[in-house]
Amino acid sequence: MAIAKKAFVWGLFAAGGTVTAFVFPVLIALFLIVALGNVPEGLQFENIHAFATNWLGKAALFIVISLSLWHAAHRLRVVFHDFGVRMDKAVANAVYLVALIGTVMTAFYLYQI
Amino acid sequence: MSRQPYIRPVSKTTWYMRNGRYRKYMLREVTCLLVGVYSFLTIWVLATLASGSPESWNALLASQQTPAMIGFHAFALIYFLIYQSFDWFKLAPKAMPVQLGEKKLPDRYIIIAHYVAWAVVSLFVFWLAGVI
Amino acid sequence: MSMRQMELEVLRYDPEQDEAPRFQNYSVPCVDDWAILDALNYVKENIDTTLAYRWSCHMMVCGSCGMMVNGEPSLTCKTFIRDLPDHVRIEPLENFPIERDLVVVLDDVMEKLRMAKPFIIRKDPPPEDQEFTQSRAALYKFKQYTMCVNCMCCYAACPQYALDSSFIGPAVLALAHRYNLDSRDQGKAERLNLLADHDGVWECSFVGACSEVCPKSVDPAAAVQQMKIDGAKEWWKQKLGGGKS
């Protein structure tokens, strides 16, 4: 008997959940503020581009997005189980694949900025 | 005496409708869909930044400025706050008990600390974004 | 003290005669400070001696009298009629097979209890000349998890156990955590290898119903979350340290 591999994904889920709980409300709020027509100074192209060029900005964006993706993926796997879908292995592979793709895309775009 | 234990069937697809506690749990769990959506929205934001052109950036900003998107963002914000953030803060003390001497630190201090940290992070990001 | 007429709707099941459970109604004159267990005892003594149910201490320490009272897993000796409406539905604990009437088959959890290795595990020998001392602070670290009376209300509340009874479950995990937190114990890794495996802590999705219904405020949900963190840490330790400890 040994500790299941689920320990690893759960760790990502827990870290991701903490990050999203603290950071996502303000992120969504920024989308809402832009949607309401009021684009603040920091979200003008030059400024946000500068933020994402800075390595600290890149690190913050990467950590927030990738952890959130893994959190959502693992939780979605549990949601499928809770809704009665019993193909856990298939569901797990699918959701983690999407999280992996998202993580790679994040790294790719951050590298390009 | 013959035994014939009776196993009561449980619906694998609708068990959560049985009581309020389970329904609230499901409402909490489906916030993962919002997390997924906003993660990919943010990736789209990065992709637009990576393209390097202010025009495509402004187009992205403009695409948010529809009544549908306002409604979606507003709904997402409120739903997320209630069913992810605030629930997460409420459950945090269970995962991180703090013992001071012989007494356990009451849960509410840990919860309040989370709210304070959340406020600080939010204000910081608002400041970075130039909202305040 | 005054009287109150309660209407009990009680699940009945006779394995030798019934294909499936049915409900039977009893009208019980209760004294207003009774627990629902007292009402059941009245039924057994005065109305229907065939009713089968478990109970013993009548003071919340034996864990025998767990049942569903209006859909909520409860210790019937701790559930008072003053907190209940006139009509009360009483069923055996959910998620367990029904043996007879309100008696459930608890074998599954009884088997699982030993998986918690509920005893002090030592690697080093105990101190030679002195007693093995433990400060009060060290005791209070795990004391709440010692309060479990094995009533299994938590298993009746847990939807993950309902969906898949191979899940080890709240009480057993809380029991293991009690020993993991004990300053005299050195068996955390050994327990985690067993309980952080498949069907262990990872099957819990933190619904939290177990802690809400626990009549002894053990808070098994907290124990499980803390074990998940311990399990994750131990996984990394084993990966980075190489091999099992």
pLDDT at A1 over 80: no
Helices (H) and strands (E) in chain B, counts: 6, 2
Tell whether A24 lies on the interface with B, counting CB pairs under 8 A. yes
Name the band, by pLDDT with cuts 50, 70 and 90, for residue B52: confident
Tell whether C192 lies on the interface with A, counting CB pairs under 8 A. yes
* B116 within domain boundaries: yes
Residue C77 to residue C62: CA distance in whole angstroms: 10
Collect all residues of chain B within an 8 Å Cβ-Cβ radius of residue C225: 91, 94-95
Burial B67-93 (b: 16+ CB within 10 A, else e): eebbebbbebbeebbebbbbbbbebbb
Q: What is the pLDDT of residue C181?
A: 96
Task: Enter the tokens of residue A74.
Answer: 């693992």
Q: Which domain holds residue B79?
A: 16-83
Task: Enter the tokens of residue C40.
Answer: 């059941």
Q: Which domain holds residue A47?
A: 6-112
* Whether B72 and B112 share a structural domain: no
How far is the alpha carbon of A34 from chain C, nearest alpha carbon, in Å? 35
* Whether B79 and B104 share a structural domain: no
Tell whether C193 lies on the interface with B, counting CB pairs under 8 A. no
Q: Are the beta carbons of A3 and C229 separated by less than 8 Å?
A: no
* Whether B26 and B70 share a structural domain: yes
* Whether B22 and B77 share a structural domain: yes
Q: Are the beta carbons of B5 and C221 separated by less than 8 Å?
A: no
How far is the alpha carbon of C31 from chain B, nearest alpha carbon, in Å? 30
C-alpha B8 chain-centroid distance: 35
Collect all residues of chain A within an 8 Å Cβ-Cβ radius of residue C159: 82
The total number of structural domains in chain B stands at: 2
Considering only alpha carbons, which residue of chain B is nearest residue A22? B118
Query: 13-72 in C: which are within 8 Å (CB) of B?
Result: 13, 15-16, 20-21, 71
Q: What is the assigned CATH class of domain C3-104?
A: alpha beta
* A75 within domain boundaries: yes
* A1 within domain boundaries: no
Is residue B28 a contact partner of residue B88, using CB atoms and an 8 Å limit? no
Query: How far, in Å, are A75, B26, C142, C177, C204 from residue B17 at the CA level?
Result: 19, 9, 35, 31, 19
Taking each helix axis from N to C terminus, what angle separates A6-35 and A55-82, rounded to the nearest 10 degrees?
Answer: 110
* Whether B32 and B66 share a structural domain: yes
The total number of structural domains in chain A stands at: 1
How far is the alpha carbon of C158 from chain A, nearest alpha carbon, in Å? 12
pLDDT tens-digit profile of B71-91?
999 999 999 999 999 999 999
Residue A28 to residue A26: CA distance in whole angstroms: 5
Mean pLDDT of the region A85-106: 94
* Whether B27 and B71 share a structural domain: yes
- Please give the model's pTM, rounded to 2 decimal places: 0.93
Each of the 245 residues of chain C gets a pLDDT tens digit; together they read 799 999 999 999 999 999 999 999 999 999 999 999 999 999 999 999 999 999 999 999 999 999 999 999 999 999 999 999 999 999 999 999 999 999 999 999 999 999 999 999 999 887 888 888 899 999 999 999 999 999 999 999 999 999 999 999 999 999 999 999 999 999 999 999 999 988 899 999 999 999 999 999 999 999 999 999 999 999 999 988 865 54
Identify which of C97, C219, C225 has the shortest CB distance to residue B5: C97
* B128 within domain boundaries: yes
pLDDT tens-digit profile of B59-76?
999 999 999 999 999 999
* Whether B63 and B121 share a structural domain: no
Q: What is the pLDDT of residue B1?
A: 62
Residue A26: give its domain's CATH number: 1.20.1300.10
* Domain at C107-241: CATH architecture: Orthogonal Bundle (1.10)
As for the ipTM of the complex, it is: 0.93
**Given the DSSP bridges, would you call strands C3-12 and C87-91 parallel, antiparallel or unpaired?**
parallel
Domain ranges of chain C: 3-104, 107-241
pLDDT tens-digit profile of A35-94?
998 899 899 999 999 999 999 999 999 999 999 999 999 999 999 999 999 899 999 999
Residue B79: give its domain's CATH number: 1.20.1300.10
Contact pairs from chain A to chain B, CB under 8 Å = 157
Considering only alpha carbons, which residue of chain C is nearest residue B12? C163
